[in-house]
Amino acid sequence: MEATKRPSSCISKWQYSSTKSKIVNNFNPVCQAVQKLTLKGKFLIILDQKKSVPGKFISVQIYSGTEVDPNTGKGWLSEKAYFKECGSKNHHHGKDNVEDTQTKIKTYKVKVHVDSHFGTPRAFLIQNKHKKKFYLLSASIETCTNRIIHFDCNSWIYSIKKTKFDRLFFSNRCYLPSQTPRALLELRNEELDKLKGNGTGERIEGDRVYDYDYYNDLGDPDKGLEHFRPILGGSRLYPYPRRVRTGPSTEIRPQATKFDIYVPSDEIFSPNKLKDLKSNSINAIVHLLSSKTESLPQQSSRSFQSFEEILGMISSNRNQTIEGWIRDNLKKLVPNDYLKEITHAIKENHQHVPTTQIIYENEWAWNDDMEFGRQILAGTHPVRIQCLMTFPPQNKYGVQSSIEQSIIEQMLEGWALTQALEQGRIFMLDHHDYLMPYLNRINANGVCAYASRTLLFLRSDGMLKPLTIELSLPGPSLALEVHRIFLPSKQGTQAALWQLAKAHVLANEAFYHLLVSHWLYTHAVVEPFIIATKRRLSVMHPIHKILNPHFKDTMHINALTRLILINSGGILEKLLFPGETCMQITCDLYKDWKFTEQGLPADLIKRGMAVEDTDENNPTGIQLLMLDYPYAIEGLEIWTAIKSWVNDFCSLFYKDDEAIIADVELQAWWSEIRFIGHGDNHNETWWYQMTTLSNLVEALTTLIWIASARQAVINHQKRTQNGNYQTYYPTLCKKFIPLEGTVEFGEFLKDPDKFFMKMLPYRFEISLGLALVNLLSKNAYDEVYLLRCQPSHGWIDNEIVQNRFAEFKEELKEIQIRILQRNKDPKLKNRRGSAKIDHNILYPKMPSSGSRRWNHGKRSVL
């Protein structure tokens, strides 16, 4: 706790500057009242427009954090002082595959005169009287003893005419509620009250109000009944995490192309992040329109004719001028200034669809069965595979799979099936149970979808060999299903059928990857934690301090996702095979979500990829069943480093379990997360009880893991592995696999490749998918990596914490070295595959959201 006595060093400096004759009398209160000290402030602002905001419009007042004004009960408050401009610097960011971006940071200085008994500054008020908002990056205040007090701000400052309030910032020193200096206690409570709101009124730009709401803004029934969507959250039928509230009970959707959906001002992208979003959106549209076609209007609604044609589109650097019909349509979709930039980009022929690394290295790698198995384990979505415990698989109604043991055993390289099961060598990619209730509805809308189970065998070289694919359709009742079994083959009709079956499996994967693993399990479930953190934990709270970098941009990304991706008629409804049922399926899967299973060790055990290990020398507490599972091997090292860092951090502030129970802000935070933010699951018994240090550490480690390393794996590997090749990762199929003896089967036999092409999405849908993946996987200039997950050197005013964080960074650097060493080991075949691409997705400094994310600089828009 900060001392409340007057800092003698400041008084000494005044004494020294006074004449010797006055030193004897310098403690006279009347004499002291007229003596002044000067505090020097420096404020860094990122410019959002060509001209800077004149300093005369920006004023600052500084609060003491140690001395109390008896008239207000708060720290002494200085007089207003106004900014003075002192120059600007251009910062260029073009490293790590990020497009060069120029950042103009303006420095303002201010001198604030305070009485000699003012004490140590620990907060300041800032007022903007200019009509333009600006982005305050950071501030520092130099005391009379040359001590620097740091403030990490990272927030937009709006005009006082809009907000009606001055903006308050606290310094980077942390206090538990019970240890808050009396000078700051009332300010702390007042600030939290302002952020909570009262659940009424419509939010407008500039507001900093965090309140909860259901997902009641996905539909747009004014456009027609086909755009009606149920409200998600608040019901047994459609349970869902809460989101930040933006307006009335049934919200009016803003214009999507202006990106003007409400989020609290502290959650809005920085100026350069906004520029990146605009630029990346333009590039994505250019890529969408820049396909190698002779007549886009006629060909966009038909299929490709060959694999070579798709490869030609991907590798082509040629662009076409936007035809009149396209320009007319774009006018309806994007603002005029965007349209001019898009037109200019294509005319200048500067844009091309970038070839993904896997296609560049080996354009036919996607077609290889062993690469198919490796991708399931170490590709874009390594979190769904599970070890098969019993055979045959069966659904929750007891309906067994039609896969026969005799067929499987022929491919087990001498192993008996029972032996292989006991030794943990049979694995499954399961997209069955959650899809079956929806397939009739999905397939009535012009797509052809199956539920799927894919079985794989772990070979002696550590790679996964595909065994069989089972595709299923609903029967006349839930207890009856129609199954089809497909086996790997190298030639003839069976090989072509196997290729069709793999495409249907990967369409299932694409949906689960984008909407479940990515959107639901790393974005939607985290938003209630963000809201509760901002509402219940003061920025001075140590738990707020350690979590906040990992939440960077997430809320704004989620808002944009609601606006343009998961809304009725949105991009993902058009791209993914479930169409309008997409979000309802995620509701069903949220019913099975458990926060306590989201940490990596618990997740691996749940999927049968690891077993518990009681060895005290094993910090993870588990033993992997596979020696070459890159996501798990690297992930466990990272998990262990995060947990150790979190444990040491929390132990510095909480000396025992009683301190956790006594922390009123922490208890309110956790209660609000459970009973409001995830209110539809609040009765579940799996929730941690926030009464022990170990439970707090486990909860925080899990939350940081989700928002950092796991997010990086789920998001940024999309572009490297499959971003531009949707024959490998189709998002939907337009044909069922034909039955022998039918007319379609005859068509298939006549030209299997042509049939395959007709089964894939149309040209426009494939191009749209490519553009979306390019947009989502793009790295922003201000990407935050876990190795640099704190914004500044002075991010916390605690030397012990800073030293421990430095140790944490050294641990991550050691992990980096081990990753590089493993990538060079020829025995670890799952790390590179047939395309010979190093597995670097969990490399802490790799530019792969939002962070805080391993690289989570989120984030792209999903």
Per residue in 171-184, pLDDT (tens digit) is 999 999 999 999 99
Torsion region of 119: left, alpha or beta (phi above 0 gives left; psi -120 to 50 gives alpha): left
Extended beta strands in 231-323, E state: 243-244
Structure tokens at 669: 């935070």
Residues 472 and 393 sit within 8 Å (Cβ to Cβ): no
User: Which parts of 121-253 fold into alpha helices (H)?
Assistant: 160-163, 182-196
Least Cα distance to 331 among 321, 340, 344 occurs for 340
pLDDT of residue 90: 62
* C-alpha to C-alpha distance for 152 and 148, rounded to whole angstroms: 13
C-alpha radius of gyration, the chain, whole number: 29
* C-alpha to C-alpha distance for 321 and 313, rounded to whole angstroms: 16
pLDDT of residue 837: 75
By 3-state DSSP, what share of the chain in percent is helix, strand and coil, each rounded to 5? 45, 15, 40
Task: Give me the residues of the chain with pLDDT under 70, please.
Answer: 1-34, 48-50, 87-103, 248-259, 276, 278-366, 716-728, 764, 767, 770-771, 773-793, 835, 844-862
Residue type, 432: H
For the whole model, what pTM was predicted?
A: 0.88
* C-alpha to C-alpha distance for 227 and 432, rounded to whole angstroms: 28
pLDDT of residue 171: 96
φ, ψ of residue 764 to 5 degrees: the values are -60, -40
Instruction: Assign 130 to helix, strand or coil.
Output: coil
pLDDT of residue 28: 44
Instruction: Kindly report the number of other CB atoms within 10 A of residue 329's CB atom.
Output: 13
* C-alpha to C-alpha distance for 659 and 667, rounded to whole angstroms: 11
Residues 576 and 288 sit within 8 Å (Cβ to Cβ): no
Per residue in 688-721, pLDDT (tens digit) is 999 999 999 999 999 999 999 998 888 865 544 4
pLDDT of residue 15: 33
pLDDT of residue 357: 52
pLDDT of residue 287: 54
Structure tokens at 544: 């707020």
Cα torsion angle, 181, 184, 190, 192, sign:
negative
Instruction: Kindly report the number of other CB atoms within 10 A of residue 813's CB atom.
Output: 12
Q: What is the largest CA-CA distance in the chain?
A: 113
Q: Do you find a cis peptide bond into 392, omega within 30 degrees of 0? A: yes
